[in-house]
Amino acid sequence: MSLPLIYDLSQSQLKSLLVELGEPEFRFQQVWHGLYRNFWNSPDEFSNLPTILQRKLSELINFHVLDPKATLHSSDGETIKIAFTLHDSLIIETVLMKYDPTEITDGSEPGHFSKSRRTICISSQVGCAMGCVFCATGQMGFRRNLSRGEIIAQLMYFARFLKKQGDVVTNVVIMGMGEPFHNYENTMEAIDCLNDPNGYNFGARRFTISSVGIIPSIKRFISEKRQVNLSISLHAADDSLRSSMLPINKKYGIDALLEACREYTLESGRRITFEWALVNGINDSADQAYLLSHKLKKILCHVNAIPLNPVEGYRGRATTNSRAKEFKNILVKAGVPCTIRLRRGTDIQAGCGQLAGIFE
> Among all residues, which ones are annotated catalytic?
93, 352
Q: How many residues bind ligand SF4 (CB under 6 A)?
A: 11
> Is residue 175 within the footprint of ligand SAH (CB under 6 A)?
yes
Separation of alpha carbons 197 and 124, rounded Å: 23
Give the nearer residue to ligand SAH in terms of CB position, either 170 or 211.
211
> Is residue 23 within the footprint of ligand SF4 (CB under 6 A)?
no
> Is residue 311 within the footprint of ligand SAH (CB under 6 A)?
yes
End-to-end CA distance of the chain: 43
> Is residue 331 within the footprint of ligand SAH (CB under 6 A)?
no
- Sign, CA torsion 244/248/253/257: negative
| The only residue of 132, 153, 155, 173 in contact with ligand SF4, by rule CB under 6 A | 132
Separation of alpha carbons 228 and 99, rounded Å: 21
> Is residue 152 within the footprint of ligand SAH (CB under 6 A)?
no
Separation of alpha carbons 287 and 293, rounded Å: 10
Pair type for strands 207-211 and 229-233: parallel
Cβ burial 234-259 (10 Å sphere, 16+ → b, else e):
bbbbbeebbbebbbbbeebbbeebbe
Give the nearer residue to ligand SF4 in terms of CB position, either 5 or 234.
234
> Is residue 212 within the footprint of ligand SF4 (CB under 6 A)?
yes
Give the nearer residue to ligand SAH in terms of CB position, either 29 or 139.
139
Within 244-263, the residues that bind ligand SF4 by CB under 6 A are: none
Give the nearer residue to ligand SAH in terms of CB position, either 156 or 245.
245
Give the nearer residue to ligand SAH in terms of CB position, either 9 or 272.
272
> Is residue 135 within the footprint of ligand SAH (CB under 6 A)?
yes
Q: Please give the DSSP secondary-structure letter assigned to residue 106.
A: S
Closest CA to 95 of 73, 115, 116: 73
Q: Are 125 and 103 in contact (CB under 8 A)?
A: no
| The only residue of 79, 154, 186, 233 in contact with ligand SF4, by rule CB under 6 A | 233
Separation of alpha carbons 74 and 95, rounded Å: 11
Closest CA to 105 of 283, 344, 326: 344
Residue 306 interacting partner from ligand SF4, ligand SAH, none (CB closer than 5 to 8 Å by kind): ligand SAH
| The only residue of 154, 187, 195, 211 in contact with ligand SAH, by rule CB under 6 A | 211
Separation of alpha carbons 6 and 91, rounded Å: 19
Q: Are 228 and 271 in contact (CB under 8 A)?
A: no
Beta bridge partners of 117: 99
Q: Are 96 and 116 in contact (CB under 8 A)?
A: no
| The only residue of 18, 66, 135, 260 in contact with ligand SF4, by rule CB under 6 A | 135
Point out which span in 40-48, 128-136, 154-162, 194-202 binds ligand SF4 (CB under 6 A). 128-136
> Is residue 41 within the footprint of ligand SF4 (CB under 6 A)?
no
Point out which span in 96-104, 147-155, 303-311, 324-332 binds ligand SAH (CB under 6 A). 303-311
Residue length, the chain? Answer: 360
- C-beta of 70: minimal distance to ligand SF4 in Å? 20
> Is residue 155 within the footprint of ligand SF4 (CB under 6 A)?
no
> Is residue 178 within the footprint of ligand SF4 (CB under 6 A)?
yes
Separation of alpha carbons 338 and 234, rounded Å: 13
Q: What angle do helix axes 27-36 and 11-20 make, rounded to 10 degrees?
A: 140
| The only residue of 8, 150, 179, 360 in contact with ligand SF4, by rule CB under 6 A | 179
Give the nearer residue to ligand SF4 in terms of CB position, either 57 or 132.
132
| The only residue of 49, 193, 303, 308 in contact with ligand SAH, by rule CB under 6 A | 308
Positions touching ligand SAH (CB under 6 A) are 134-135, 175, 179, 210-212, 233, 275, 277, 306, 308-309, 311, 353-355
Positions touching ligand SF4 (CB under 6 A) are 128, 130-132, 135, 137-138, 178-179, 212, 233
